[in-house]
Structure 1
């Protein structure tokens, strides 16, 4: 092939790859803004199967960093419209950070492919629980108090542990955890969860960074795409919140689709 044609082909290939990374980042940001979770549920398989990251641990570490920063962007959008319950966010996140560090240490010691498969199985269980309670609209006045504080702290610690172990922001665990421990509506749980998603993500990313499992260039592309996606996702969530069960069903549907795909891929690679 002529050098000029080869150079042009390589340029096109490089631009296409960047476009894929930006699109994947936008999809993650949109999901975080829309349902407060699913960022890492999508980020890890997208990095492995769409972008082509060969090492699952690098995908986990890089996605944790990208999701943490995109969660902060989404949090700003939710804070502007008053859907964040800050006291609950503080209690839940502070108790979960320690669990996230512990979980990340355990997760790095496990085979990457088996880790992805366990991750998918856990997602199926959470999705089923969300569908079961989709008609429960919750109480807009719900908040953290002395009565439910131990429950909120326990859910926070557990979500943090699983978040660190699987290398995820944890939103798909935090949202149902906040709803179960306080009785708040899903829109408030989504906005509030982004504080913990960010905290857990940074904790996990720090642990993986120390071990050299973060691709900084890829993380930058995912963050850039996620900034726009999170804005669109937050606006969509506000629109859907008035339709009973619709947002919760969507949350569960995303979990099921990605979980089945990851199980299919994981089994074929074992």
Structure 2
């Protein structure tokens, strides 16, 4: 539909394609800034179903590069707003990096379409878990201590494995993982998660890059668009955090919508 419109207004196909990639990047960046996750759950299907990348593994590798870069941009905004719990971020990310490398190696051995279908099913499960705790505001003074550090490390390692296996930044798993292990408010979990999203994304990106599964031109356009979207998403996130459960409900809603569409496309294909 987009390309038909571009042809009608006389826009060259290559320019239309670049614009579509740039706009897709804005959507990904906005989601990362808003909920600290969802970058890859949107980036992968956008690349496969909207932009038209034929190889699912290339879409996964390219999305990992762009999501990592966009997460760093969003992290800068959240750091200035003081919503990042740095100690928790360091523990969670460091334990997840090795898991992400292991998961990425296993994921490349699985058929791309089956990978996307499993990814969507996992997303739905996480969405339901988030909705169950939507009225819990968390503890604003929550920190990583000697008592909860083992839980934070365990959640970090498991999230890293899943992140690498499915080729995702992992934010939609990291946010609930941080909340479950430390009981921090969702706005702090969103900001803190971006450290791990960037770390996991880079680990996955390196693995896929070494296998030749990264389209650098597309990644650059997604990064430019994502940087713009991250700033807007962070501002909206701070406003929604003031309404009881609103940010959590939106988080789960994004997951359900994208997962349903991915399952439909995978089964249809």
If the TM-score is normalised by the length of the shorter chain, which range does it land in? over 0.9
Match of 2:230 in 1: 230
The total of aligned residue pairs comes to 263
User: How far apart are residue 15 of structure 1 and its match?
Assistant: 1.4
Match of 1:30 in 2: 30
Match of 1:81 in 2: 81
RMSD over aligned Cα, in angstroms? 1.3
Deviations 1:176-198 (CA, angstroms, capped at 9, x unpaired): 00000000000000000000000
User: How far apart are residue 9 of structure 1 and its match?
Assistant: 9.2
Match of 1:264 in 2: 264
Match of 2:20 in 1: 20
Q: Write the mapping of 1:82-231 to structure 2, written as runs, cut at 5 A.
A: 82-231=82-231
Write the distance in 2 (CA, Å) between the matches of 1:134 and 1:19: 37
Match of 1:240 in 2: 240
Instruction: Give the SS at the match of 2:12.
Output: helix
Match of 1:5 in 2: none
Gap regions ≥5 residues in structure 2: 1-7
Write the distance in 1 (CA, Å) between the matches of 2:123 and 2:107: 16
Write the distance in 1 (CA, Å) between the matches of 2:134 and 2:96: 25
Write the distance in 1 (CA, Å) between the matches of 2:202 and 2:144: 24
Q: Does 1:62 align with 2:62?
A: yes
Write the distance in 1 (CA, Å) between the matches of 2:11 and 2:239: 41
Write the distance in 2 (CA, Å) between the matches of 1:87 and 1:172: 20
User: How far apart are residue 11 of structure 1 and its match?
Assistant: 5.7
User: How far apart are residue 202 of structure 1 and its match?
Assistant: 0.2
Write the distance in 1 (CA, Å) between the matches of 2:228 and 2:147: 39
Write the distance in 2 (CA, Å) between the matches of 1:117 and 1:47: 15
Gap regions ≥5 residues in structure 1: 1-7
- Structure-1-length-normalised TM-score: 0.96
- Structure-2-length-normalised TM-score: 0.96
User: How far apart are residue 105 of structure 1 and its match?
Assistant: 0.2
User: How far apart are residue 14 of structure 1 and its match?
Assistant: 1.4
Write the distance in 1 (CA, Å) between the matches of 2:10 and 2:238: 42
User: How far apart are residue 114 of structure 1 and its match?
Assistant: 0.2
Deviations 1:114-157 (CA, angstroms, capped at 9, x unpaired): 00000000000000000011001000000100000000000000
